C-alpha cells in the first residue's frame, strides 16, 4: 500500500511540473548557437549522402567498364573495345567532377569514407585499361592529371573566380594502392580467359607483372594502412592462380590438347574463393 501511494505521488509530481519547452527562451544565445549547429550538421549530412550516391554511380560505371575490358581476350579488334572503354571512363570522370564540386571549400578527409569505394573502383578500371593498352602500371600522377574539371564559379566562401573555376580532384595514395590491389584479381581472370581462348603468351606476361606488384606491396608490408595490408592476402592468391596456370602451360602444356585447355582452366576459374569473387 505504501509503494502504491508513493508511485501515485511521483506521478502527480511529474504531471504538475512545468514542461521543458515552456522554460526555453527563444531569444537565448545558447539556443541560437545550437540552431546554427543543427543547420551545419544537417548540411554536412546532406552533402555526405549526396557523395555516397555519386560514389555508387562511379562504382557501377567502373564495374561496367571492367566487364567490357574483359572482352579483349575474345575479340579480334582490341582497339575498338579500348576506345569504347575510353568513352565510359570519360563519363565516370564527369561523375568524379561532381564529387570535386561537392568538396569545393570542404575538408576532403571529413567526407572521404563517403566516396572512397567509388574512387578505388575507378582506379581499378583505369589501371586495367592502361595495362591492356600499354602493358604497364599507370601512376598516381597520371590518374590525377586526368581529374581536372572546369566549373562555373559559385563564390563559395572567400574563393572567387571570374567566370569559370578549375577544380581538381586528388586521389589519395591509399585509394590508389587499394585500387591497384583489386586490379590483380582482374588480371588473374584475364589470365584464365586468355588461356581458355588459346592465348599462351599473355599468362606469362601477367605472371611477371603480378610478381612486380607483389614485390612492391611486400615492401610496404605492415607499415602501410591497415586496408592495404589486408589486400596483400588476396593479391597473393591471385598471383598463385596465375603462376599455377603458367606452370600447367609450361610443364603439362604439351600433354593437354589446345582445344581442351579452355575446359581445364574454366573449371579452375569456377573454383574461385568467395573473397576473390567479391573483389
Task: For residues 262 and 268, give the distance between their C-alpha atoms in angstroms, rounded to a whole number.
Answer: 10
How far CA 44 is from CA of 96, 100, 253, in Å, comes to: 19, 15, 59
Task: For residues 93 and 138, give the distance between their C-alpha atoms in angstroms, rounded to a whole number.
Answer: 16
How is residue 161 written as a grid cell?
573566380
Task: For residues 169 and 149, give the distance between their C-alpha atoms in angstroms, rounded to a whole number.
Answer: 8
Does the annotation list 124 as a binding residue?
yes
The number of beta carbons lying within 10 Å of the beta carbon of residue 99 is 23
Return the exposure string of 62-90: e unless at least 16 CB atoms fall within 10 Å of the residue's CB, then b: beebbebbeebbeeeeeeebbeebeebbe
Q: Are strands 164-168 and 148-152 parallel, antiparallel or unpaired?
A: antiparallel
Does the annotation list 80 as a binding residue?
no
The number of beta carbons lying within 10 Å of the beta carbon of residue 94 is 12
> What would the DSSP string read from start to end of 32-55?
HHHHHHHHHHHHHHHHHHHHHHHH
Give binding residues as ranges: 124, 186
Annotated binding site for Mg(2+): 124, 186
Amino acid at each position: 500500500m505504501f509503494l502504491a501511494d508513493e508511485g501515485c505521488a511521483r506521478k502527480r509530481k511529474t504531471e504538475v511540473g512545468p514542461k521543458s519547452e515552456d522554460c526555453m527562451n527563444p531569444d537565448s544565445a545558447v539556443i541560437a548557437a545550437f540552431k546554427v549547429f543543427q543547420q551545419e550538421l544537417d548540411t554536412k549530412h546532406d552533402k555526405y549522402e549526396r557523395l555516397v550516391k555519386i560514389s555508387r554511380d562511379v562504382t557501377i560505371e567502373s564495374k561496367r567498364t571492367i566487364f567490357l575490358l574483359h572482352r579483349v581476350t575474345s575479340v579480334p579488334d582490341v582497339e575498338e573495345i579500348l576506345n569504347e572503354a575510353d568513352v565510359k571512363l570519360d563519363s565516370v570522370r564527369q561523375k568524379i567532377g561532381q564529387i570535386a564540386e561537392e568538396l569545393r571549400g570542404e575538408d576532403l578527409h571529413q567526407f572521404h569514407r563517403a566516396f572512397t569505394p567509388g574512387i578505388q573502383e575507378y582506379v581499378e578500371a583505369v589501371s586495367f585499361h592502361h595495362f591492356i593498352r600499354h602493358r604497364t602500371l599507370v601512376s598516381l600522377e597520371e590518374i590525377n592529371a586526368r581529374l581536372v574539371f572546369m566549373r562555373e564559379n559559385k563564390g563559395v566562401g572567400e574563393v572567387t573566380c571570374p567566370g569559370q573555376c578549375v577544380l581538381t580532384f586528388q586521389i589519395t595514395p591509399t585509394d590508389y594502392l587499394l585500387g591497384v590491389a583489386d586490379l590483380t584479381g582482374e588480371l588473374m581472370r584475364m589470365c584464365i580467359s586468355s588461356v581458355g581462348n588459346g592465348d599462351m603468351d599473355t599468362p606469362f606476361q601477367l605472371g611477371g607483372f603480378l610478381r612486380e606488384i607483389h614485390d612492391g606491396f611486400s615492401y610496404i608490408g605492415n607499415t602501410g594502412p591497415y586496408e592495404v595490408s589486408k589486400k596483400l592476402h588476396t593479391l597473393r592468391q591471385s598471383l598463385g592462380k596465375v603462376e599455377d596456370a603458367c606452370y600447367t602451360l609450361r610443364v603439362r602444356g604439351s600433354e593437354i590438347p589446345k582445344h581442351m585447355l579452355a575446359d581445364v582452366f574454366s573449371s579452375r576459374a569456377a573454383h574461385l574463393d568467395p573473397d576473390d569473387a567479391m573483389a
